[in-house]
Each structure stands twice: as C-alpha cells, then as structure tokens.
C-alpha cells in the first residue's frame, strides 16, 4: 500500500503500508527506505526525529514502511520482499535500506531467504541484534513469565530474538551466497544514560555480557561479513536520530562506497564482575521478596519491574534501614513494552538478608532483578552466559562450600509457554540436553549456596537452546 505523505502520516502501523517524502521528490541521490524495529512503527523515524531534515539536505528521498511490530523475521521478510519490489517499480532504481534494531534482520531475511536482492543497493543496520538479545531470553524465562504474560509481550518477534533461536537463524543464513551478495554496513551503540534513562536498566543488565546501547550488545550488532562503520556512545534510541547518525550515513549513500571511516569504540563499561538474581510473581496488598548479600559484593542494583507505575516500594537492609527513594522509568528496550522499572542502587551493601517490599491494593505482576557487582573478576566469571559456562564447573579458587541448582526448563515450539520441568540437583550435568525436542528451550537455573565464610548467596542463570529438526543443538 503506497500513500502520499502530506505532513505526518495518520495511518502508521498498518503492515505493508509504505509512503515517501513528497517534499524531496526529484532528489538525485539514492532513495532510502527506513525500516523500524520491534514494537514500533514508521512513526519512530518521523515523530520527534529530525531524520527527514538530513535526508533532504543531502539530496535523498526518504521512504518509510510499516511491518508487523510483533511478528518474526520470516513473516516480515516475506512481506518486505513484496514491498521492495513495489518500491523498485516506483523509484525505477534500487534503494538503500536502513534498518533499526530488528528491522535489520527483517531486511536480511527478505534478501537472503525471499530473493529481494535485485531491489536493494546496500543495507545499513543500526543496533540490529543479528545474534539475538539476552533481554529476549529474559522475557521468556521462568521469573519473567508473570510480567510478560500481563504485558502481552510474548509474541513471535520477541520469541525469534532469543539468542538460541538467532544462532539457528545465523546457521541457516550466513553460509548462503545471497548473504554476501548485498553489502551490509553495521553500527552499534554503547550509551544507555543514567538512572533516569529508560534504557538504563537494560544497559545495566546487559553489562554482564559486554557493552551495549541499553537493548542490544555491540557484539550482536556485528555481522562477520559486514563492515562495521562505527560504535559510538549512542543509545538504542539516539542511534536512529538524524543529527546523531546521518553524519556517518552520508558517506554510505554515494554511488560507490570507496572507503569507510571507522568510528572509535567508546562508552560505559563496568570493571569487575556482575551476576544476577531473578524472582517474580503476582501479589495484591503486600509483595515480599528476600535475598542475601555475601562478601566481596561492592554494590547492588535492585530493579522491581512491574505492570504498575504508582506502587510504593521499600528496600530493607539487614540492620533494619529502610530505603524508599526509587527511580521510576518506563521500559524502552522493546522487550518489556508497557513495563515500569523501579530502581535503586546501594553501594557497600551490608552482608546478610535483605528484603524488598511492595504495597499495592491492586493485583500486580512483577519481576525482581538484583545485580551484584563485585571487584573480583574470578568470582562469578562462569555467569557470562555462553554455552560452556552453563555446564562448566566453578572456578577452583572461588568454589563455595555447597551449592544447589534448581533448573526450570520451559520447552517451547512457538510463543506459548508449555509445562515447566523442574530439576533440583548439585550437578548441572543432569540437564538432559541430548533429549530436547525440536524447538526453543528456555532454561532458568536458580543457584543457592554458602561461601567459605558461611554467607548465603543466590544467583540466576538464563540460557536459551535451539534444537533443529535434525537434532542439532544451538
């Protein structure tokens, strides 16, 4: 569906609808098609964005399209192939495609799996999670279930961005000749702002895995056969704004890209190690969760993520001190749309049991996340989230006196949650990976133990595994 653009469009969000910037009609440069990401629409490029000012300034006509905001790359890729053909007929030439977030994966699917290559000159991706996002893993995990069910955010789009699923997608895509037929240029971001930023919690959570823009890791924004143009202090929001990104884009929009200037990698990175504990549920009246802080923890970040905004919260230390000053922000990662973060950071926390209390007369669904920051790079290094660390032993220097694993295994072949399988063991090797059926398996491992000094601790590991029809495990 093609519509003229007279000012701001009033029908955004209709899948398959595309429109062009009529003001820039007759521009000599390549037409540029902008593709939005997850839980978004073409509005993301137009409302509160100065992008069109720059496309016009540099002699390009912008085109915008609405895809399914909650569908996987297969459905969007098939739709996009059809619409790219229409755009080619309209412009009588190839377009340059700029995809933000999942939009970059959608266009690659259209090119590689649905044959849209003849209509596209080159592709530029802005913080596209080419290897998935650990936030998608979290959204489908055991402790997030109450919240994501309430938010209705468990859909095919989030499901397909789980890291295990994306490993399968990469195996189906990267070795095909079509994958390298169209040039790809990638950008990544490392900025997620302070505690008042809507991407702060996402960046803090992802800091355990590496630098990110608050929603997508820098490492996930890269393609092995793509050219990484720049990694700067952009957030997942600012990386698509004209004033921020177009100075880097303009050199990629010429007839022939001769040389790319690589931007310097910059941004916030935590020293030491960070590990996490998740809990979740539903309550009405008073909700209570407790957790322990052991030695060597230098700071804790507590985040109560809820479908409610106005709940009253208290964090109570082992000596009875009550903290009530929580920062409240609405989630902007795209993985928990409509959720509110209630966050507080405590430096040099006391050892012992802490308690989190929530007061709400209504029914509230929540997930509590506690990040433990330590200066010891060895203490929790097996929590990095890769496949080897999931099954691997503790570091010999930091092995606790005792530990117990409770494994929540959620096998899913679609976006629907199935029966959870519980395994309680002192040995992670009891997880029967070889017996997993075809599909995505979300594994939440709760760890409880006691250190050499006799202090209790709890942690959580989340891992997704994809098993294809041949029994291959990703």
In terms of Cβ atoms closer than 10 Å to its own Cβ (0-12, 13-18, 19+), residue 334 is: buried
pLDDT tier at 415, thresholds 50, 70, 90: very low
Range with the lowest mean pLDDT among 46-55, 98-107, 260-269?
260-269
Q: Rounded to an integer, what distance in angstroms lies between the CA atom of residue 164 and that of residue 169?
A: 9
Q: Is pLDDT above 80 for 91?
A: yes
Cα separation, 130 vs 222, whole angstroms: 7
Average pLDDT, the chain: 87
Calculate the dihedral angle through the C-alpha atoms of 257, 243, 102, 146, rounding to the nearest 10 degrees: 160
Q: Which residue has the higher pLDDT, 151 or 5?
A: 151
Percent with pLDDT over 70 in the chain: 84
Sequence-distant (≥ 6) Cβ neighbours of residue 375 within 8 angstroms: 271, 272, 296, 298
| Residue 212 to residues 14, 100, 187, 231, 358, Cα–Cα distance (Å) | 31, 15, 12, 10, 30
Which tokens sit at 440? 């995505």
Q: How confident is the model at residue 8 (pLDDT cuts 50, 70, 90)?
A: very low
pLDDT digits (tens, 9 = 90+) for 310-325: 899 999 999 999 999 9
CA torsion through residues 126, 169, 198, 293, sign: negative
Dump pLDDT digits (tens) for 161-176: 999 999 999 999 999 9
Q: What is the pLDDT of residues 252-273, one digit of tens each?
A: 988 887 666 555 555 444 456 7
Tens-digit pLDDT profile for residues 194-218:
888 889 999 999 998 999 999 999 9
Residue-wise pLDDT tens digits, 24-37: 998 999 999 999 99
For residue 397, the model assigns a pLDDT of 37
pLDDT-based confidence at 474, cuts 50/70/90?
confident
Q: For 216-248, how does the pLDDT look when each residue is reduced to its tens digit (9 = 90+)?
A: 999 999 999 999 999 999 999 999 999 999 999
Q: What is the pLDDT of residues 433-458, one digit of tens each?
A: 767 788 888 889 899 999 888 999 99
Q: How far apart (Å, rounded) are the C-alpha atoms in residues 317 and 205?
A: 22
Extract the tokens encoding 56. 């016009």
- Copy the structure tokens of residue 1: 């569906």
Q: Is the distance from CB of 360 to CB of 283 less than 8 angstroms?
A: yes
State residue 121's pLDDT score: 97
Q: What is the rounded CA–CA span in Å between residue 335 and residue 153?
A: 7
Q: Is the pTM of this model over 0.85?
A: yes
């Amino acid at each position: 569906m093609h519509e003229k653009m007279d000012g701001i469009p009033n029908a955004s969000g209709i899948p398959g609808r595309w429109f062009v910037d009529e003001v820039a009609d007759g521009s000599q440069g390549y037409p540029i098609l902008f593709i939005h990401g997850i839980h978004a629409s073409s509005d993301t490029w137009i409302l509160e964005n100065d992008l069109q000012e720059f496309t016009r300034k540099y002699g390009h006509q912008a085109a915008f399209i609405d895809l399914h905001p909650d569908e996987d790359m297969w459905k969007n890729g098939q739709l996009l192939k059809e619409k790219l053909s229409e755009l080619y007929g309209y412009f009588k030439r190839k377009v340059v495609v700029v995809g933000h977030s999942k939009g970059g994966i959608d266009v690659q699917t259209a090119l590689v799996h649905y044959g849209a290559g003849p209509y596209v000159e080159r592709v530029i991706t802005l913080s596209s999670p080419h290897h998935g996002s650990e936030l998608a893993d979290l959204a489908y995990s055991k402790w997030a279930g109450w919240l994501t069910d309430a938010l209705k955010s468990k859909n095919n789009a989030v499901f397909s961005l789980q890291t295990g699923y994306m490993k399968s997608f990469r195996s189906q895509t990267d070795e095909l000749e079509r994958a390298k037929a169209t040039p790809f240029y990638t950008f990544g971001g490392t900025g997620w702002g302070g505690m008042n930023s809507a991407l702060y919690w996402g960046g803090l959570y992802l800091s355990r895995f590496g630098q990110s823009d608050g929603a997508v890791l820098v490492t996930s924004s890269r393609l092995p056969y793509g050219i990484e143009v720049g990694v700067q202090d952009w957030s997942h929001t600012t990386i698509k704004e004209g004033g921020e990104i177009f100075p880097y884009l303009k050199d990629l929009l010429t007839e022939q890209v001769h040389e790319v200037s690589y931007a310097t990698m910059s941004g916030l990175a935590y020293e030491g190690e960070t590990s996490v504990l998740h809990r979740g549920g539903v309550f009405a009246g008073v909700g209570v969760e407790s957790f322990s802080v052991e030695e060597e923890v230098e700071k804790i970040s507590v985040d109560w993520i809820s479908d409610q905004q106005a709940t009253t919260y208290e964090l109570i230390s082992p000596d009875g001190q009550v903290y009530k000053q929580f920062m409240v922000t609405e989630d902007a990662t795209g993985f928990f749309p409509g959720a509110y973060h209630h966050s507080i950071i405590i430096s040099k926390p006391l050892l012992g049991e802490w308690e989190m209390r929530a007061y709400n007369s209504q029914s509230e669904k929540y997930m509590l996340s506690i990040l433990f920051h330590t200066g010891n790079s060895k203490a929790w290094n097996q929590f990095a989230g890769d496949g080897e660390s999931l099954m691997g032993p503790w570091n010999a220097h930091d092995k606790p006196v005792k530990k117990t694993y409770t494994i929540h295994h959620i096998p899913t072949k679609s976006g629907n949650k199935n029966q959870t399988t519980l395994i309680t063991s002192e040995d992670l090797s009891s997880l029967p990976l070889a017996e997993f059926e075809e599909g995505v398996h979300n594994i939440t491992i709760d760890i409880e133990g006691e250190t050499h000094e006799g202090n209790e601790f709890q942690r959580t590991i989340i891992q997704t595994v994809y098993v294809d029809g041949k029994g291959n495990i990703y």
